[in-house]
Amino acid sequence: MTKISLKGLQKSYGKLNVFKDLDLTIEDRSYVCLIGPSGCGKSTLMRIIAGLEEANSGQILFDGDDVSALGCADRDVGMAFQNYALYPHLDVAGNLRFPLLAPRYRGMYSKKEIADRVGTIAELLEIGHLLHRNIGQLSGGQQQRVSLGRSLIRRPKVLLLDEPVTHLDARLRYAMRSELRRIHEVMGTTTIHVTHDQQEALAMSDHLVLLRNGGIEQQGPPMEVYSEPQTSFTAGFLGDPPRSIGIVPFRRNGGGFDLVLGTNAVALPAYLAEACRGSTDDSVTIALPASAINLSGGAMAPVAGTVTAHEMIEGAQRIVLDVGGVHFTTQSSQVRPVAIGDSLSASVDMSRVQLFSAKTGRRLATEVKEKEIS
């Protein structure tokens, strides 16, 4: 039950600046996912919150108390990592109770209390029947639950999860995602979950933080970040299939604007043209979801391109078209025979185009209210 505030965090390794000046607030009882490309600083940030790593300057506050000077053990955080790190010589119960037996807690937990807590956590994680098994006899998913149980048994203020489900098979991965959310709802522990999987972050978090180059690119409720990306980087990072992103020429046409998509000039809808009005650029970055590009034609803006890739995924065919140097990713449950190099035409729903400055990557303001971007 803890609100976490990071203020003016600065961290460097020699010449390498990981964080220059990072501020982040994590609300009490929230489930926050940190995502970003490798090297963005997400794991370092988690390690700094855990106290495994020291920041060069800045403050870490738990409910307003500065914990920056405290070591990991004094911060009251629970941690679970992708490699479980269980004690192989102890059984499941032994692993679960281990944190309660640490010398620093001597005398704090009675035998009965320890037994009760092991029982409660095992029941919550549905591993009650495994208490006397050896770690080596458990499946990956079961080991992950034990690891999670061990991190929760002291009822820590904060739970830190680093890629907790990455190595599991699809079936277990989906099951553990739901499990983690359910446990969070029961325990209410403020949780920070690092993942590289954008779908996992969208599906699991209350609040999503996208990091890039040691800064916060965008944060907010996950579907809001997904639907209203404020930079072209965010637009390209979130979405499956990935949005089509590229720089295209644009030009004035009377009172409006045309985008040049390959050989076709298509008019921007009025509200998007409005967003471009002040611009002196001659090109703009566009982002388009796959569902806005239709290979079956239709009345929408036509484009023509060359097939650069095609592949089957579950229940759908994905075809990538090169349209004037920009790759348009399409997806359809209707499978068509294509080969690389084929010419295909498509129609684009221009009302779903999002526009970004080709220079700064920032979203061109539309009716969507501008948000603070750190």
Question: Distance (Å, rounded) from C-alpha 1 to C-alpha 158?
Answer: 7
Nearer to another protein, 233 or 250 (CB): 233
Nearer to another protein, 216 or 245 (CB): 245
SS3 annotation, 25-46: EECCCCEEEEECCCCCCHHHHH
282 within 8 A of 260, measured Cβ to Cβ: no
Which one of 253, 313, 351, 370 is in contact with another protein (CB under 8 A)? 313
| Contact positions with another protein (CB under 8 A) in 33-52 | 37-38
Tell me if 83 contacts another protein by CB under 8 A: no
229 within 8 A of 238, measured Cβ to Cβ: yes
Burial zone of 137 (CB within 10 Å; 0-12 exposed, 13-18 middle, 19+ buried)? exposed
**Which among 42-50, 74-82, 195-203, 271-279 is the span making contact with another protein, rule CB under 8 A?**
195-203
Encoded tokens for 41: 């600083």
- The rounded radius of gyration (Å) of the Cα atoms in the chain is 25
Question: Distance (Å, rounded) from C-alpha 338 to C-alpha 347?
Answer: 17
Which one of 93, 295, 320, 353 is in contact with another protein (CB under 8 A)? 320
Encoded tokens for 338: 């294509």
| Contact positions with another protein (CB under 8 A) in 246-305 | 289, 291
Q: Whole-number minimum distance, CB 31 to another protein, in Å?
A: 12
Which x/- pattern, by CB under 8 A, does the window 87-126 give for another protein?
Answer: ----------------------------------------
Tell me if 170 contacts another protein by CB under 8 A: yes
Question: Distance (Å, rounded) from C-alpha 118 to C-alpha 149?
Answer: 9
Question: Distance (Å, rounded) from C-alpha 312 to C-alpha 307?
Answer: 14
Q: What is the longest distance spanned by two Cα atoms in the chain? A: 81
Which x/- pattern, by CB under 8 A, does the window 126-155 give for another protein?
Answer: --------------x---------------
**Which among 47-55, 58-66, 247-255, 307-315 is the span making contact with another protein, rule CB under 8 A?**
307-315
Q: Whole-number minimum distance, CB 175 to another protein, in Å?
A: 8
Nearer to another protein, 72 or 309 (CB): 309
Question: Distance (Å, rounded) from C-alpha 337 to C-alpha 325?
Answer: 23
Q: How many CB atoms lie within 10 A of CB 173?
A: 18
Per CB under 8 A, residues contacting another protein are 37-38, 140, 169-171, 174-175, 177-178, 181, 196-199, 202-204, 222-223, 226, 236, 238-240, 242, 289, 291, 308-309, 311-315, 318, 320, 340
